[in-house]
Amino acid sequence: MHVNGENGPCRGRAKCIISVVVSMAEKQALQSEGAQLAEVLNELEAEHAVKEISGWESGFANLSRALDGLLPGLYLLIGPPACGKTSLAKQLLDQAAMNNSVPGIFFSFAERKKELRIKTLARLSGVENREIRRGSAYLLHWYGVPRLGNVDAGQLPPSWEKLRRSAEEARSWLDLTYIVECDRRMTLHDIEDQIQAVKQIQGRDQIIAAIDDAQRLALSEQSLENRLAILADQLQAIAVNSNAALFAVWPDLHGKRDTTPDAWADRIPGADVVLVMERNQKRTEKLTPPNQAIILHIVKNRGGERGSLAFEFSPAFARFVEAEPS
């Protein structure tokens, strides 16, 4: 029987196996709480910047304070149809990228990339999305060519030039964000792979992600409520594994008048934060149609306080702004 020598294949394979075992042992080495707390204290001591919140700035001052910033974990955004869930999720992702230089990825099951990008341009430029869809010829015909000077996009009247200038000014953070069109073949594994791919491209450890119409990922044979509980656990695991602030948009199709937003808090144990959108009909009547007054209820929040925040939603510009509570 032939036996490999000291430098033969068997010997090399054995060294490789030992190396892997040692490497795994080093990674799994236990540390006491005392040792780990000392490391945390050293990290905190090295942080010299004065921070009002722990996580990323959301771009909405009141929301950032209430949530203590955006942190890795699962955020569920729940609301009735046509209340602006998609627009709010996209705006949160964009503002996180802009304010914190963090990469973001938006998964869409309902809208095409072009439509989402038109809404982003409308929000940034103040040019209505229906006018953007009509193209440069329409804008040039309707508004003409503005007199240009050393001004930023915000000072220009509605025009094709304002649209183009707004995109140029946002380029630094737009280069951090990605949109993925999803179909029925998209799986949770695909979602996690795409998140990891963006992190690798950008060379970052953390990321913000959003999944619009997340119910499409759940088992269709289950009731909508059961699907949510199961999917939330799976998405929370992805958020932890990917070190991601993960927003999942979910429709509230029940519309039960006797059900309060707080009822959602106990339905989804796997979520770190549950945000429930509700129309404020009384305040909406004071706004110019089709603008809507929205209340964002923070019904579950492991990292901060609970409460309700007032917003105004402008569908023409796909834009949310914080408002004074009525």
Q: pLDDT-based confidence at 45, cuts 50/70/90? A: low
pLDDT recorded at residue 326: 63
Fold of the domain built from segment(s) 61-111+176-322: Rossmann fold (3.40.50)
How high is the pLDDT of residue 94?
97
User: Is the predicted pLDDT of residue 6 greater than 60, yes or no?
Assistant: no
- pLDDT over threshold 90, residue 32: no
Look at residue 267 in the predicted model and tell me its pLDDT: 84
Gap between the Cα atoms of 265 and 253, Å rounded: 17
What is the average pLDDT across 159-179? 88
Answer for the pair 252, 79: CB distance below 8 angstroms, yes or no. yes
Q: 């964009």: which residue's tokens? A: 94
Is the model's pLDDT at 33 over the cut of 90?
no
Give per-residue pLDDT as tens, 244-276: 999 999 998 775 555 789 989 888 888 999 999
- Cβ neighbours around 324 below 10 Å, total: 7
Q: Taking Cα atoms as reference points, which of 114, 107, 109 lies closest to residue 129?
A: 114
Model confidence band, residue 17 (pLDDT cutoffs 50, 70, 90): very low
pLDDT band at 199 (very low <50, low <70, confident <90, very high): very high
Per-residue pLDDT for 169 more than 70?
Answer: yes
Question: HSE on the CB side for 225, CA within 13 Å?
Answer: 6
Residue 4 has pLDDT above 50, yes or no: no
- Return all residues near 241 (Cβ < 8 A) that are at least 6 apart: 192
pLDDT in tens, 101-132: 999 999 999 899 999 998 998 999 888 888 88
- Tell me the pLDDT band of 20, cut-offs 50, 70 and 90: very low
8 Å CB contact between 157 and 150: no
**CA Rg, the chain, in Å?**
24
Q: At what angle do helices 113-125 and 160-169 cross, to 10 degrees?
A: 100
Whether residue 13 has pLDDT greater than 60:
no
The predicted pLDDT at position 152 comes to 59
In the chain, domain spans = 61-111+176-322
In this prediction, residues 80-90 reach a mean pLDDT of 96
Average pLDDT over residues 19-37: 59
What single-letter DSSP state applies at residue 148?
P
Write the burial class of residue 201 (CB in 10 Å: 0-12 exposed, 13-18 middle, 19+ buried).
exposed
